[in-house]
Amino acid sequence: MNPKSVIACDIGGTKTLTALIDIEGKILFKERHPTPKQSAEQIVELVSARISKLPGSQGIDKRSILGVGIGVAGTVDMENGLVVSSPHLPFKNTPLKQMIGDSLKLPVLIDNDATLAALGEQKFGIAKGIHNMVMMTIGTGIGGGIIIKGEIYRGTTGGAGEIGHMVIDVNGPEDDCGARGCLEALASGDAIGEMAGGISGEQVAQSAGKGDQNALRVLKRAGKSLGAGLANLVNIFDPEMIVLGGGVMIDDKIIIEEAKRVVAETALKPNRDTVRIVISELGEDAGLLGAAALVIEKVNGER
């Protein structure tokens, strides 16, 4: 009999990652595919096919798989296995858990991708052993996850952790969420590109690297907004650690330095003196490892 392992899947706006992970959090195999954009059925087809092939392709007996954990970029009703909505994917009240689980005969759990990234860092990454932490994922958009006393904080309806939509500037640019000047509209990769005149966030970072003054100004402005958001988190949650992850912008020192400066100057004491603001250790694997942790926790809980 093989040692137990878990299948994890991270369905993002551009790519879908699928992996086999052992119960110690070691990634045994990982693959990536572009996420189909046409319909939910296409995504289900891709994910189901990968999940059913994965164990066999790695010489692992399917019977040793504990279950499947899936992270989705969107609002997830975990209890009912629904993806309520998603800004970048064709999901609308989609019963994803049932659609994927039906053909597999394996337990399937789904959750928001950023929430799972938080869990991944807390179980297997830089926040291992930390009980109070907040994760912020900065990519095309901004997502988040909150862990309090070692457990994911989900709020009343499961919608907690939407850090990207906290309002920083009520007179700021409008976001898809309907608010003006939320963090996502001011500091996400898309927002940075927009501020620089309609290029991509990556291009802005490259130009800044070459000393382009406008790009540098844009990144500093984004860093300032990010810092205001982080200071709010520090004041409200008094976390031991805030982990920044996701996307290319996180490699941008200008944004991070500016954000840390704002936190040091404006967040309240003693919170600001104890919090550690760090960069994700797991990178793009955080969501996968969180998805694995979710399955492992559930199976252990049922024993």
* Phi, psi for residue 72 in degrees, rounded to 5: -130, 135
DSSP 111-164: EEHHHHHHHHHHHHSTTTT-SSEEEEEESSSEEEEEEETTEE--TTTS-TT-GG
Residue 142 interacting with Zn ion (CB under 5 A): no
* Phi, psi for residue 233 in degrees, rounded to 5: -60, -40
Which parts of the chain fold into alpha helices (H)?
A: 40-57, 96-104, 113-124, 183-187, 189-195, 201-209, 213-237, 253-266, 271-274, 286-302
Q: Give the orientation angle of helix 40-57 with respect to helix 96-104, to 10 degrees.
A: 40
Q: Answer yes or no: 102 catalytic.
A: no
Q: Which is nearer to Zn ion, 94 or 188 (CB)?
A: 188
Question: Which residues have CB under 8 Å from 303's CB, separation 6+?
Answer: none
- Tell the smallest beta-carbon distance from residue 186 to Zn ion (Å): 9
Q: Which is nearer to Zn ion, 179 or 299 (CB)?
A: 179
Stretch that binds Zn ion, among 19-27, 181-189, 210-218, 230-238 (CB under 5 A): 181-189
Number of neighbouring beta carbons within 10 Å of residue 178: 8
Residue 175 interacting with Zn ion (CB under 5 A): yes
- Tell the smallest beta-carbon distance from residue 230 to Zn ion (Å): 17
**Does residue 115 contact residue 290 with C-beta atoms inside 8 Å?**
yes
Q: What is the distance, to the nearest Å, from the Cα of residue 169 to the centroid of all Cα atoms in its chain? A: 24
- Tell the smallest beta-carbon distance from residue 111 to Zn ion (Å): 20
- Tell the smallest beta-carbon distance from residue 168 to Zn ion (Å): 10
Binding-site size, Zn ion (CB under 5 A): 6
Stretch that binds Zn ion, among 67-75, 141-149, 169-177, 266-274 (CB under 5 A): 169-177
Residue 167 interacting with Zn ion (CB under 5 A): no
- Tell the smallest beta-carbon distance from residue 237 to Zn ion (Å): 20
Q: Which is nearer to Zn ion, 69 or 164 (CB)?
A: 164
Residue 242 identity: I
- Tell the smallest beta-carbon distance from residue 166 to Zn ion (Å): 8
Residue 163 interacting with Zn ion (CB under 5 A): no
Residue 184 interacting with Zn ion (CB under 5 A): yes
Q: Which is nearer to Zn ion, 97 or 165 (CB)?
A: 165
| Nearest-angstrom CA–CA distance, 225 and 227 | 5
| Nearest-angstrom CA–CA distance, 31 and 6 | 15
Residue 182 interacting with Zn ion (CB under 5 A): yes
Residue 177 interacting with Zn ion (CB under 5 A): yes
Catalytic residue among 10, 111, 113, 252: 113
Q: Which is nearer to Zn ion, 168 or 295 (CB)?
A: 168
Q: Which of residues 34-63 bind Zn ion (CB under 5 A)?
A: none
Identify the residue among 165, 191, 267, 292 touching Zn ion (CB under 5 A).
165
Residue numbers annotated as active site: 113
Contact positions vs Zn ion (CB under 5 A): 165, 175, 177, 179, 182, 184
